[in-house]
Structure 1
Amino acid sequence: MASTRVTVLSCTFVMLQLLLAAGLCPDMQTYDSWMAWCEDEFTYSVNISYICDWTQTIEPYSRVTKCAEAVSLTLNCTDRRRLFDVFMLDLHRRFFANCTPLQEPDFDAPDDVFAAAVAIPTILVWVAVFAWTYWNANKR
């Protein structure tokens, strides 16, 4: 089943390249149609109930990314990076909006760790300066 879909995908892009080589001028409607096709492929291949599980989603996500890049490259869009970004942001808004990280990252250290990280080097510097001064004073 997967090899059939890959073959269909490959044949479709070959057909698109042949149409463009024949001199047909693509417009935004053509671009939108192909991007809708990429999105349909993503929707078909991803299990919506596991959309937030990256291990289940990574392969279809990779394919939709490659599909979108191939369409914008093949159509020779002048502003392809912006178009790609808009497409991917829209895809994220619609499919991944309700996904939350498994655990919120802690950006700040706990207060006691922070205090120790500041106090220990400060005290060590004072002790080192005192020891160096004391050693130099006794050396004379």
Structure 2
Amino acid sequence: MTTGHSDQNENNTSIRATESTKQNCNETVMLDNVKICGYSFELLMFHTLDRKDWCNVTSLLRQYSFFSSCTENVTIYAGCFWPNPIVEGFIIGIHKKFFSNCTYIAETMPEDPPDKILSILLLIPVLLTAAMIALVVWCSRRSDILV
């Protein structure tokens, strides 16, 4: 019974911590600072990358990583959770602005081989297994060879 009581106290403490964090969240400060992160990201995108490289993940990784960590830091600084719906909406706006023309080029999946080749590839291990079993049985019956 005492464990149930301590679990309840821990749950109440975590609920109070969550509520106090919500009360300490300054959304105005958070949104203003997140806009600064967006502005910095725009400057980095326009001045360090050609437009043709905006859809190349490897070339914009540094800029996007900076933007992501910036939004996380200013959100936590404002006393808010990260991610949250406000910041997510802002990030979606950035994605629409910079990456709306990017198309995902799926890697072509290899096709299955023709049925004849597939059948052969499946039968080889089955036949080898059967042959090995037959060899073990044959050798075990002819114990005079092993002696």
- TM bucket (normalised to shorter chain) is 0.5 to 0.7
Equivalent residue for 1:65? 68
Note if contact 2:30-2:75 (Cα within 8 Å) is conserved in structure 1. Answer: yes
Pick closer, same or farther for the CA change 1:139–1:26 going to 2, 3 Å.
closer
How many residues in Structure 1 have an aligned counterpart in Structure 2? Answer: 114
**1:15-54 alignment runs, 5 A limit:** 27-46=26-45, 47=49, 49=51, 50-54=53-57
Equivalent residue for 1:122? 126
Structure 2: segments with no counterpart, 5+ residues = 1-23
Of 130, 136, 140 in structure 1, the residue corresponding to residue 140 of structure 2 is 136
Q: What amino acid maps onto 1:111 in structure 2?
A: P
Cα distance in 2 for residues equivalent to 1:87 and 1:117: 53
TM-score by length of 2: 0.58
Equivalent residue for 2:19? none
Runs of 4+ in 1 over 4 A off after TM superposition: 83-90, 112-117
Higher relative contact order structure (alpha carbons within 8 Å, sequence separation ≥ 6):
2
Q: What amino acid maps onto 2:57 in structure 1?
A: W
Note if contact 2:26-2:79 (Cα within 8 Å) is conserved in structure 1. Answer: no
RMSD over aligned CA atoms reads: 3.1
Q: CA deviation at 1:53?
A: 2.0
Equivalent residue for 1:21? none
Structure 1: segments with no counterpart, 5+ residues = 1-24
Q: What amino acid maps onto 1:31 in structure 2?
A: M
